[in-house]
Chains A and B, each alone.
Chain A
Amino acid sequence: MNGLMRFLVFGLTLSVGAGSLIAQESRLAGRLDSATQRRVEQLIGSALADELPTEPLVDKALEGASKGAPGDQIVQAVARLLADIQVARSILGGEADDYELLAGAGAVRAGASAERIETVVLSRPNMSSLVPLAVLTDLVALGVPPGTAASAVLALTESGASDAELDNLLRNVSSDIQAGYPPVQATAIRSGSPSIVPPPGGVLPPAVGIPPVAAPVRDQ
């Protein structure tokens, strides 16, 4: 009976995997040249074999096709994303869902260390790490150094901040940077993290219409 059950589960898994691959092939068909499609499908197959999410890889290939990128560039981008997801899996473990894995891959790409990413995730037990990792990545995209971004996010997650509060940190820092303040200074003050030493500079104004996460104005 056990043997029969194992056979059925194996068959079902194989069917789902094959079905998924066929569905993704149909999405790629007509959008990529045949050589590029074949190489992308090999990468998707690798992801399937490692039980990693394949949807982001298909999306990345379609993004490249839509933006008119050459085939080699598309394959490189998909391979790079797969590598980032693999690293994220090794950091976040098997319990992380696809959303968290993709956000983790973003944080990896942003340059956050594995130790910092793991600390951020562990600081939020029983809660999704999607938003903290996404905010970390987006702060880096604003010009905040990865270590500073990770410290800022960690300061909030350790104090039990909600997703909305983390999002407010990002909005406030973004608005301060647009107003001309240096990224590190804005992040240090908005997060209230004692581990970030803001460089000398002016005093930040409170962001208009957005409630500050930490004390918005602090004397230097």
Chain B
Amino acid sequence: MCIVSEVNGFNELIENAAHELRRPVRFNPALDERVMKSVRAIPRFGRMANLVGWLLTTHPVRLSPAFGLVVLVGAAVGMWAWASSGAVPEQIASSFENGARMIVFSLEVPEASDVSIVGDFNDWDAEATPLSRTSALDEWAAAVPLVPGRYQYTFIVDGEQWVADPGAPRALQSDFGRPSSVITVPEL
């Protein structure tokens, strides 16, 4: 019996506290106005500033492996398209660490069965730099790393026909009766 009386007293206490908490609190209207005035006085940043802030803040990014693969393939295709569009100088495709550049030599001889290039860059050795047939234009091509300088060269078609590069200047004077072309690789 005594226990029941204590419980009833506790419930009454809780009920009174809840009643007090449920009662609406009324603030002084002047206080309300002061608070809002202070809030308005805080400097506001534009959308651009917010964007910059967002960009400068680190955010966790989650990508699915499939999406990452698509991004990688897209980047590779873009770089290939840029390289094939002529944005890179005609023969100069990329740079090497030692100042050399990769020069692509090509010759259109679809009927040939074997093409090589000889020149100052390979000791005029007919077996040193064979050209490979490209799939697109029936061209034969080879890439040769060259440091800046001036080089004479010529193509050998089917082991016996010496052909000057139609896309390059001829060597001024052929000392040995067979045609040579010349390429100048400028210094960077």
Q: Does B126 contact A (CB under 8 A)?
A: yes
Contact with B along A123-164 (1 / 0, CB 8 A): 000001011001101101110000000000000000000011
**Which chain B positions have C-beta within 8 A of A64?**
175-176
- Residue in contact with B175 in the complex, picked from A73, A106, A134, A137, CB distance below 8 Å: A73
Contact at B186–A163, with CB atoms within 8 Å? yes
Rounded to whole Å, the gap between the CB of A69 and the closest CB of chain B is: 4
Chain A positions within 8 Å of B175 at CB level: 60, 63-64, 69, 73, 76-77, 80
Q: Could you say which residues of chain A place their CB within 8 Å of the CB of B173?
A: 109, 141
Q: What 1/0 flags go to A33-64 for Cβ under 8 Å of B? A: 00000000000000000000000100110111
Residues 77 to 106 of chain B near chain A (Cβ within 8 Å): 89
Inter-subunit contact A130/B182 (CB<8 Å) = no
B42-59 interface mask toward A, CB cutoff 8 Å, 1 = contact, 0 = none? 000000000000000000
- Docked CA distance A186–B186 (Å): 24
Asked if A102 and B176 sit within 8 Å, CB to CB, the answer is: no
Task: Give B121's nearest chain A residue, CB to CB.
Answer: A59
> In the complex, are the beta carbons of A130 and B172 less than 8 A apart?
no
Q: How far is the CA of A103 from the CA of B151 in the complex (A)?
A: 10
- A130's partner among B118, B178, B184 (CB-CB below 8 A) is B184
B172 touching A99 by the CB < 8 A rule? no
Q: Once the chains are docked, how many angstroms separate the CA of A56 from the CA of B171? A: 14
Q: Counting CB contacts under 8 A, is A110 at the interface?
A: yes
Bound complex: CA A4 to CA B88 (Å): 52
**B120 lies within 8 A of chain A by Cβ:** yes
Chain A residue with minimal CB distance to B149?
Answer: A99
Docked Cα-Cα span, A69 to B178, in Å, equals 10
Residues on A with C-beta less than 8 A from B170 are: 141
B127 to A: closest C-beta gap in Å: 11
Given A63-B180, A74-B176, A134-B150, 6 more contacts at CB 8 Å? A59-B124, A63-B176, A64-B176, A66-B124, A67-B176, A164-B89
